[in-house]
Amino acid sequence: MNRIVIFANGELPDLDKARALLRDGDYIICADGGTRHASALDLKPALVIGDLDSAESAFLQTLQAEGVPIELFPRDKDETDLELAIHKAIELDPPEILILAALGGRMDQTLANIALLSDVRLSTFDIRLDDGVEELFFCRTRSQVKGRSGDTVSLLPWGGAVTGVRTENLKWQLSGETLYPEKTRGISNEMTSSTATVEIQSGLLLILHRRAS
């Protein structure tokens, strides 16, 4: 199984930057309205999933005519379309999962999309939210941020204190400190190299990487 790329129904502020994230061979899943991004990028998804209340009917008809599988769910359901897409991705067990267009627009949806990544079933996956400008992912033990010097990196404790935080190649280094969710110490650090490393001893740490324009 190749890397899975899921298109959600959030915002893509820069289509060219989003396109640059894609690779040949990506297995593309569209979560309902995420089909509009696939259409804008002239991509043919491998699967469309959701209740299809926000997908463009003409594009869906084209995909159906081309034999693209569509998994239809009732509108009255307990999961968002993105959650359904993530469940499908977990079943397929890829080496990486990249979720595009899960940020922006409605704040409740954005927060829920971030929270989805905290699912313990995803702890063995490299799974990230990205829109070409910013990427978000959780560090459970050790993570790398790849970008360039000058990029902004923020570290946010999720659900409680995060202990033993150590960083490399960030302007303001941490050497085993504890970060607390009610404090802002981890906000707006800066990469000093093309790769930064973050390690923690316990807790769940949300890493936000904003690429310099």
Cβ pair 113, 99 in contact under 8 A:
yes
**What pLDDT is stored for residue 120 in this prediction?**
92
**Packed helices 107-116 and 81-92: angle between N→C axes, nearest 10 degrees:** 20
What structural domains does the chain harbor? Answer: 4-132 (3.40.50.10240), 142-210 (2.60.120.320)
Cβ pair 208, 162 in contact under 8 A:
no
Distance CA 179, CA 160 (A): 9
DSSP β-ladder status, 134-139 and 126-130: antiparallel
Distance CA 51, CA 75 (A): 5
How many other CB atoms are there within 10 angstroms of residue 77's CB atom?
Answer: 12
Q: What percent of the chain has pLDDT over 70?
A: 100
Cβ pair 169, 191 in contact under 8 A:
yes
Report the length, in residues, of the chain. 213
Binned average pLDDT, 10 residues per bin, the chain of 213 residues: 93 93 96 92 94 82 89 87 95 95 90 95 94 96 97 97 98 97 97 98 98 88
**What pLDDT is stored for residue 85 in this prediction?**
96
pLDDT, tens digit, 9 for 90 and up, residues 7-28: 999 999 999 999 999 999 999 9
List the structure tokens of 150.
């000058």
**What pLDDT is stored for residue 106 in this prediction?**
85
Name the residue type at position 76.
Answer: D
In this prediction the pTM is: 0.92
How many other CB atoms are there within 10 angstroms of residue 87's CB atom?
Answer: 14
List the structure tokens of 41.
């990028």
List the structure tokens of 10.
């959030």
Cβ pair 200, 164 in contact under 8 A:
yes
Q: For the purposes of burial, counting CB atoms within 10 Å of the CB of 79, is it exposed (0-12), middle (13-18) or buried (19 or more)?
A: middle
Q: In what order do the strands lie in the sheet with 134-139?
A: 70-72, 47-50, 27-31, 4-7, 96-100, 126-130, 134-139, 205-210, 152-157, 189-190
**What pLDDT is stored for residue 195 in this prediction?**
98
**What pLDDT is stored for residue 76 in this prediction?**
83
Distance CA 15, CA 189 (A): 26
